[in-house]
Amino acid sequence: MANTSNNKKGQDDKKYKVINLKYEYEGYEGSEKWAIISELSEKELFGLYPDEMRRYSPFVLLSVEQGKVNFNEKAPTVIVASITTVIKKRYLPSHIILGDRFGLSKPSMVLLE
């Protein structure tokens, strides 16, 4: 992870990591500037860190496992994820369904294959 949040003294026990998508991916033009990697849900993150989560909103929330795949510090590999409105094979762990809370005009699915 090239650009993670700078934890201040006493804040190393955060239950999330932050990635600046615009810094990490040159030419990125999405509305979400940040990716948050955590095992906590969005509701739990806002409950524990309300001020910080508001500062990073809107953001893409990734599980720790997705973060390992997408933001491996030791591998200079960029993973491109397709997004589609065609919802198929929901059971695959690499298919992430995005609901209406992501600002999309239709329900969509991210394909991380």
Tens of pLDDT, residue by residue over 39-62, are 999 999 999 999 999 999 988 888
Return the pLDDT at 71.
57
* Residue ranges of E strands in 1-75: 17-20, 34-37, 59-62
Return the pLDDT at 54.
93
The answer to whether 78 and 25 have CB atoms below 8 angstroms apart is yes
Return the pLDDT at 55.
93
Q: Which residue has the tokens 């910080």?
A: 52
- For the entire predicted model, the pTM comes to 0.52
Return the pLDDT at 5.
46
Q: What residues contact residue 36 under an 8 Å CB cut-off, 6+ apart?
A: 16, 17, 18, 19, 45, 53, 56, 59, 60, 61, 62
Tell me the Cα Rg of the chain.
Answer: 14
